[in-house]
Amino acid sequence: MEVIASAPGKVILFGEHSVVYGEPAIAGAVNKRAVVKIKKSPTDKTILKSHDLNFEAEINSKSKKYYLKKGKPGIIRYILEALYQHHDHSPIEITLSSNIPIGSGLGSSAAVTVATLAALYKYHGKKFSRRTLADDAHNIEETVQGIASPLDTLVCTNGGLIYLSRDRRFQRLKINFHTPFVIGYTSKHGNTGKMVKDVRDLKENNPGTVALIISSMGVLTNSGKYALLNNDVNKIGELMNINHGLLDALGVSTPELSRMVYLARKKGAIGAKITGAGGGGSIIALCPDNIDTVASEIAKYEHILKTKFTPKGVYFQVKQ
Ligand code: PMV
């Protein structure tokens, strides 16, 4: 039997970092995906390999140890933790493919975790709901990263555009968002755990000021929700620009990210902001009219990804 599970990456439209402090956030699944295949191992070893990410490892899921045969995958920690928590440690072969840039704030770790867990559940014939899958995947992210909001794993599990409220309920926004956007990402990876910790330190040193920045992000996220529901593209762009300024104030921008944001706006993007944890990683620029100009300008300095929102969350296939 071979089990295949696929989960999408995501972009955060509003509310990264403030979501860690209980504020609302909005993120959408994108049509770049991580695909995990699991089958019985032909040997007595558990093997993890990825042609796309260029690595191969022999792993011991009981002790969470691994021996790298090729490559250097940061993502392996999420797979190890998933196996440690949800596998009976019998030898399996895991093959990972992904076209989500790794470490770019586009949900690669959440997508890999969700797809690995879904494949494991199916492999073991376990019944599960999307809710338990997203919760268990969030738990793994938290174990590996130290701090993580439930946003990424919710979006990668459910697909679509998701609003996460202050009381941690999630709502799928029933809209078709057709405005084109471009993602720019730098080769410099962001470290989500470190960025979250840096913001926490800034907050500890400046409690009153940072609390106001964070609550402003919550207010603008709620305005963003209404702008999205009303398809008010100008308002969405305006709020993205404000959100970027507040993220910059929290210290998570970098010269590369700022350059992409300002270039995109100069070339006609209606709104541009960091998406994800920052410190490297990605920006998102909303471009109703001139996506090609914006994309080619960013591509002179960094990488671009043209993608779309997708309603399709996790799905799987079982081959006997
Ligand atoms: O690096 P990303 O895209 O997974 O960003 C995470 C967003 C944060 O709000 C910074 C952290 C979190 O867990 O929500």
Whether 149 is in the pocket of ligand 1, judged by its Cβ within 6 Å, is yes
Mean pLDDT of the chain: 95
Whether 57 is in the pocket of ligand 1, judged by its Cβ within 6 Å, is no
CA–CA gap between residue 29 and residue 13 (Å, rounded): 11
- Confidence label for 286 from pLDDT (cuts 50, 70 and 90): very high
Q: Give me ligand 1 centre to Cα 223, in Å.
A: 20
Whether 105 is in the pocket of ligand 1, judged by its Cβ within 6 Å, is yes
Domains 2-174+311-319 and 181-307 share a fold: no
Pick the CATH number of 2-174+311-319 from 3.40.50.300, 3.40.720.10, 3.40.50.720, 3.30.230.10: 3.30.230.10
CA–CA gap between residue 72 and residue 56 (Å, rounded): 9
Please enumerate in sequence order all residues whose Cβ is within 8 A of that of 185, keeping only pairs 6 or more positions apart, or say none.
101, 104, 105, 106, 281, 282, 283, 302, 303, 304, 305
What class has domain 181-307?
Answer: alpha beta
**The one-letter amino acid at 42:** P
CA–CA gap between residue 79 and residue 1 (Å, rounded): 20
SS3 101: coil
Stretch 130-156: mean pLDDT, rounded?
A: 93
The token duo for 75 is 């993502």
CA–CA gap between residue 240 and residue 26 (Å, rounded): 11
For residue 277, the number of C-alpha atoms closer than 13 Å in the C-beta half-sphere is 28
- Which of 141, 145, 152 to mutate to test ligand 1, by most ligand atoms within 8 A of the CB atom? 152
Q: Give me ligand 1 centre to Cα 69, in Å.
A: 30
The token duo for 278 is 């920052």
At 27-74, the pLDDT tens digits run 999 999 999 999 999 999 999 999 988 889 999 989 988 998 888 777
Can you give the residue ranges of every domain in the chain?
2-174+311-319, 181-307
Q: Give me ligand 1 centre to Cα 274, in Å.
A: 11
210 touches 203 (CB < 8 A) = yes
The token duo for 238 is 């305006």
Catalytic center residues: 152
- Report pLDDT for 70: 86
CA–CA gap between residue 132 and residue 126 (Å, rounded): 11
Whether 282 is in the pocket of ligand 1, judged by its Cβ within 6 Å, is no
- Confidence label for 178 from pLDDT (cuts 50, 70 and 90): confident
What 201-207 contacts at long range (C-beta under 8 Å, 24+ apart), as own/partner pairs, is 202/250, 202/251, 203/21
Q: Is the pTM of this model over 0.85?
A: yes
Nearest to 112 by CA among 60, 70, 52, 67: 52
Whether 20 is in the pocket of ligand 1, judged by its Cβ within 6 Å, is yes
Q: What percent of the chain has pLDDT over 90?
A: 85
